[in-house]
Chains A and B, each alone.
Chain A
Amino acid sequence: MANKQKVLLVDDDVGFLAANSLLLQEAGFEVTTAQDGRTGLAAAREQRPDLVVIDVMMSRPDEGFALARALRGEPALAGTALLVVTAAGERYQMLFEPDDLWLPVDKVLEKPTAGDELVAEVSRLLAKRKENGG
């Protein structure tokens, strides 16, 4: 049996973590969680996940953005797919999209995500990563 792909969820909303851990596990992923940017960065360094799902507004309003930049700056995690899932767009009435300078991630999804939307996006990004030799 092939190794399961690893997904790290970083969010201060325990409800979000619990629900989406279940859905992702059901879809065949190995899931770990962290509740803030600092422990999320440490977990990523330790576990080398294939993909990290990042919330933005945690103890600081830009905490997830900072975590995304920190992860992208780690050479050892260069191949890790990054998916931001945030309500910041709704809260600030702004649209966030990946950009090289401040938001170097693969995709931004807006909360609330529909039932299987997160699982579908995680699967798509990992399949794309595999296609690209990641």
Chain B
Amino acid sequence: MSVSSKVIAPCQAGCPVRTDAGRYARLVAEGRYDEAYEVICRANPFPSVCAHICQRPCEKQCRRGPLDAPVGIRSLKRFVVQHARRPAPGPCAPEPAASGRVAVVGAGPAGLTAAYDLRLRGHRASVFERLDRPGGMLNVIPRYRLPQEALDADVAAILATGIELTCGWEAGENTPVAELLERGFDAVVVATGLSRSRGIAVPGFGAQRFTAAIPWMADVWLGKKVDVGRRVAVIGGGNVAADVARTARRLGAEQVALICLESREEVPAEPQEIALAEGEGIRLLPRQALKRVLNRDGQIAAIELMSVVSVFDEAGRFRPTYDPSRIRTLSVDMVILSIGQAPDRSWARGTAVRADERGRIVVDRETHLTSHPRVFLAGEALRGPGSAIQAVADGHRVAEIVARFLELGEVARPAAAEVAPLDPFPEDVLERLRRLATVAAEAEPFAASEPSLDEAAARREGGRCLACLAGAVIDETKCASCLTCFRVCPLDAVEIGEAMRANPARCQACGVCASVCPAGAISLACWDRAAGEWATLPAPASRETGGTVAVVCRHDGGSPAGADEIVAVPCLARLRPVDVLGLFRQGYRTVALHPCAEEQCKYGAAWKNIESVAGCASALVRGAWPEARVEVCLPAGEGGPVGSAQET
């Protein structure tokens, strides 16, 4: 880790666009869906798309993983996009006179993100797309994985900022990119993706029904007439190959085989995709390579496969070796190649953009600039195969470079924004968290399939977030070094040094320390938000008779009867006696504390703090307001029936 690295939550560090996933997970837990949506959209203009098909790099980094299972972040995102009130997109403010004009070639996630960012900065952006609709390769993802309405919603919101879109425009010899510059565009961003499938010049190549994944999937999902065999061999082991196989099956293929060089353990497709494919009756044939296509009268009759000895060499490079003596024959009538994709570089013909001996565009990978001073390359066409969210991230990067170019007239290298993920929980913290009984008994609840969550499930799932870096911060100037926090912390997160400090690698924001600190020196991000609500609470109707204010756990979402006002807070254990006194000062005479049930408490041991807070507050108020009461209303099974009051 670099000394200057900013430490961020691992889920955020794992996300290519740095979405603050922990923050929106916690907002979902608190029922704040619109705010959660804003957090998502701040980093990602494709929230609905990613809610369905993101490969979840955030979840792979989640610190909850070693405890039981990662927080189901993608499921939460899907819940949010389905339940939040989406702000009506509108055109950006009129652009300043000095704004630039940018042509973006390719309306996939990288191109549209670049256009969107440039538009938000006041520049004019026009997008030119080869297909008859925007979305690029997102259009060939099966609709059962990415519903059309999800793609349409994101694209509509992006275009509504005032981006001009031209479909059916193919960059090539007849409409060269250079022409765009002649038409007055100040810069061109090429984000044409990987629109071509790689071919194999295998013997027997070229019979009818010998085809490639991308054009075949494009025909299927763009509604064109499509041919499918009865016995289909899909060559490849990636996610696209799995999509192709499952699509062929849905179109009526009786037998579908997924044939790949890799072993079952090495298959590049996500394990879940392979499991779903096999669950639909698709046969995985690992460690097999296509050797020959056997044709009869121009039709495919069978294929010969040879055994693969190894796929990677000792240095980890892709260099397969074969055993040609071990041959098997498979009776098939269709072969679909899905062994990788490549960029279509025909757009560069007729331009000053140079290519190397192998035909690759010469480009500075940091500045995105090609050999032409106003043509930039982005997305998979620059970076190679990647996920949709990686393409979005590259769209952000190129937009920043191009915006600076338009505004300052220079192509500058981006400043290194080094971030480092928060360290994993130490083993002893994991052990203590397990004892706190907040751990799910079962493995990841959404692993086998990913249905949309209902509200209760979403709030529960959001509540599983362990609040990395949202924990205690001790203000050195207020701290009296009384060591109370050190004594009460259930995770030994408080460290004694020159100043008291809560170690973020151990702290999981239970808030016990903040509630007992006599100097009020400890703050928590969640509590700061709740304090804002506190201040806006209306005074009771009559200051003489007072009124009852119920303070409820935001995660539990209860609404007790009989209260004049209800305030939902992230955790009642985080209340300080002075907070309770504040309510009496506003004129209330009864404060009813409604904690969640202990087994539902997301903070475990923190729950036990409530009674001491209530006791302390009660003792303090007696002197000032003799008629004032503090009640702890325990849920059923926690010492009394729901709503029973215990005067302290």
Contacts and interface: CB of A to CB of B under 8 A. Distances in A.
Contacts of B211: 92
B112 to A, nearest CB: 23
Interface in A45-63: 56-57, 60-62
Contacts of B241: none
Contact of A96 (B199, B204, B358): B199
A94 B349 contact: no
A89 B196 contact: yes
A95 B197 contact: yes
Contacts of B204: 62
A88 B337 CA distance: 14
B196 A93 contact: yes
A102 B202 contact: yes
B212 A93 contact: yes
Contact of B212 (A60, A92, A99, A124): A92
B212 A62 contact: no
A103 B201 CA distance: 6
Contacts of B205: 61-62, 65
Contacts of B357: 124
Contacts of A89: 196, 199
A109 B182 CA distance: 29
A92 B199 contact: yes
A62 B196 contact: no
A119 to B, nearest CB: 16
B207 A61 contact: yes
Contacts, number: 56
- Max chain A C-beta neighbours (<10 A), residue from B196, B205, B206: B205
Contacts of B197: 93-95
A114 interface: yes
B201 A65 contact: yes
A61 B206 CA distance: 5
A93 B201 contact: no
A97 interface: yes
Interface string B319-335: 00010000000000000
Interface in A101-134: 101-103, 114, 124
Nearest to B298: A61
Nearest to A112: B173
Interface in B467-514: none
A94 B206 contact: no
Contact of A95 (B198, B206, B207): B198
Given A88-B199, A102-B202, A114-B349, A93 B215 contact: yes
Nearest to B204: A62
Contact of A66 (B198, B203, B322, B358): B203
A56 B205 CA distance: 10
Contacts of A95: 196-199, 342
A75 to B, nearest CB: 20
B349 A62 contact: no
B342 A62 contact: no
Given A62-B202, A89-B199, A94-B337, 16 more contacts: A56-B201, A61-B205, A62-B203, A65-B205, A66-B203, A68-B201, A92-B199, A94-B196, A94-B199, A95-B196, A95-B198, A95-B199, A97-B358, A101-B322, A103-B201, A124-B357
For the complex of A and B, 7 pairs with smallest distance between CB atoms:
A61-B206, A94-B199, A65-B201, A62-B205, A93-B215, A103-B201, A95-B342
